[in-house]
Amino acid sequence: MNIKDALSEKIAGEITLSPKPGQTIRKWRNVFGISQTELANFLKLSPSVVSDYESGRRKSPGIQTVKKIIEAFIEIDEKHGGKILRQYNSMIETQEGIMEIMEYPYSIPAEKFIREIDGNILTTNEIGLKKNVKGFTLVDSVKTIETINSGDYNRLYGWSTERAIIFTGIRYGRSPMIAIRVHPVKPTVVVYHRPGSVDSLAIKLADRENIPLVTTLMALDDLKKKLVSIGEK
């Protein structure tokens, strides 16, 4: 499957399975950096029709309309130089260490996200709790963050830095937070799955960065299901 087909299939799946397809269409339109007017002109529709779809004022578009919208995203991106196609291709080339990566169709308050995964907040700074989560990346091992280079690091963030990064295989939790501390790109929430213990330095670094540091004791399979289901509510 070529990159255009793979990305089209991903977008179609998210839109058709989303409980709020209009918001998911808006999310992808924003990912591609396309205005409502540009999309409407390409589809030969009124901008108000696109706005109505995205806001839910108009009945969710059918399969054929969704197909045309996705084709418009791809073709407009190609006219703009194919930036998003290249980004997605880069993301799927190297997935070693990434167990699951997903974008949510709409923003989820960090506090709600943490509650959903039965999270225990270790940090005291509450600023980060007011932010939103737009996706998650579940990382198989701390070795990923210890050995990853700066170019590969960005793949952890998918389409948005406003996400939760969940680390499994944690012993003390110092290395992931040091890596996050020195890198200019920051996640919204950092989660340690069943850590052996958590080094006090990791907590201090998270507090300095206004990033909630959270632990969860959920079984891994249950955590995976929960992370996916959060975006389906």
Higher confidence at residue 149 or residue 53?
Answer: 53
Give yes or no: residues 137 and 207 share one domain: yes
Task: Write the CA distances from 19 to 60, 73, 122, integer angstroms.
Answer: 10, 21, 33
Q: Which two tokens stand for residue 133?
A: 């989560």
Residues 151-168 have a mean pLDDT of 77
Shared domain for 15 and 116, answered yes or no, is no
| Residues 158 and 210 both lie in one domain | yes
Are residue 39 and residue 103 in the same domain, yes or no? no
What CATH number corresponds to the domain at position 20? Answer: 1.10.260.40
The residue out of 88, 108, 142 marking a domain boundary is 88
Instruction: Provide the number of structural domains found in the chain.
Output: 2
Residue 146 pLDDT level (bands cut at 50, 70, 90): low
Kindly state whether residues 133 and 188 are assigned to the same domain. yes
Q: Are residues 118 and 194 in the same domain?
A: yes
% of the chain residues with pLDDT over 70: 89
Residue 149 token pair: 């280079």
Indicate the burial class of 27 (C-beta count within 10 angstroms; 0-12, 13-18, 19 or more): buried
- Residue 123 and residue 53 share a domain: no
Query: pLDDT digits over 27-75, tens only?
Result: 899 989 999 999 999 999 999 999 999 998 988 888 899 999 999 999 9
138 and 191 belong to one structural domain: yes
Same domain, 108 and 210: yes
Cα-based torsion angle of the residue sequence 14, 20, 23, 25 in order, rounded to the nearest 10 degrees: 40
Average pLDDT of the chain is: 86
pLDDT band at 185 (very low <50, low <70, confident <90, very high): confident
Q: Are residues 82 and 113 in the same domain?
A: no
**How distant is the alpha carbon of residue 130 from its chain centre?**
17
Same domain, 135 and 203: yes
Question: 63, 88, 113: which is the final residue of a domain?
Answer: 88
List the domain range (segments joined by +) for residue 25: 3-88
pLDDT of residue 142: 58
Domain boundary among 72, 88, 104: 88
77-128 confidence digits (pLDDT tens)? 999 998 888 877 765 555 557 778 888 877 899 999 999 999 999 999 999 9
Tokens 């703009």 found at:
80
Residue 148 has pLDDT above 90, yes or no: no
Backbone torsion region of residue 189, taken as left when φ is above 0, otherwise alpha when ψ lies between -120 and 50, otherwise beta: beta
Q: Are strands 213-216 and 189-193 parallel, antiparallel or unpaired?
A: parallel
pLDDT band at 207 (very low <50, low <70, confident <90, very high): very high
What pLDDT is stored for residue 28 in this prediction? 92
pLDDT value at 219 more than 70? yes
pLDDT on residue 14: 84
Q: What is the mean pLDDT of residues 178-194?
A: 89
Same structural domain, 143 and 62: no
CATH at 174: 3.40.1390.20
* Helix residue ranges, H only, the chain: 3-17, 21-31, 36-43, 47-55, 63-79, 83-93, 110-116, 142-147, 150-153, 174-182, 200-208, 220-230
Model confidence pTM above 0.95: no
